Structure 1
């Protein structure tokens, strides 16, 4: 997916004015968003505002998703679809905290961890 002129001008301005960390966050955000949009286009069978016979559903807005990276937290927009569901394979779906807590407690029990250490694990979560 090619970037439009305004996005390229914005990135060139970031190259000139931003520090190294901000520049990497901006570049990573642009790359992640482009990959998510390309995967959504492949899933739907058509680009935004494109009419094709192979289209399986339609876009219906976006939802924000916070992605934690080594360059910092980024907010990407994940396209919603009208029928079915779409979630990019690049991102891992969130697990509910009770499922994660249950998995930690069960793993600790299997390994024979003491109750004091289990209490410490629960407090850490």
Structure 2
């Protein structure tokens, strides 16, 4: 299906250009923080991660959910590719609203955890 090819192509482009960090659901918290810090728009959440106390026992979903609850004006989103991995991006709340609506209108999803 051409739509699926375009969806996966978009994800590949986001990763290749420094806007997406893929991780496994069981990824360690420190690896997720490191991966997010490598993204080009990390500055949207950087001030919140400096003092954020992560629980090393959290899985990726729990950790991102807790971090998102502390953020103001931005969020960490997951692009759904129907797998066990999390394709994480950082977006301002305005951008998140737009891209999640576009994804939904096209049969896909971008969600916050």
TM-score scaled by length of structure 2: 0.27
Mark the structure with the bigger radius of gyration.
1
Q: TM-score, normalised by structure 1?
A: 0.25
Larger RCO (CA within 8 A; separation ≥ 6) = 2
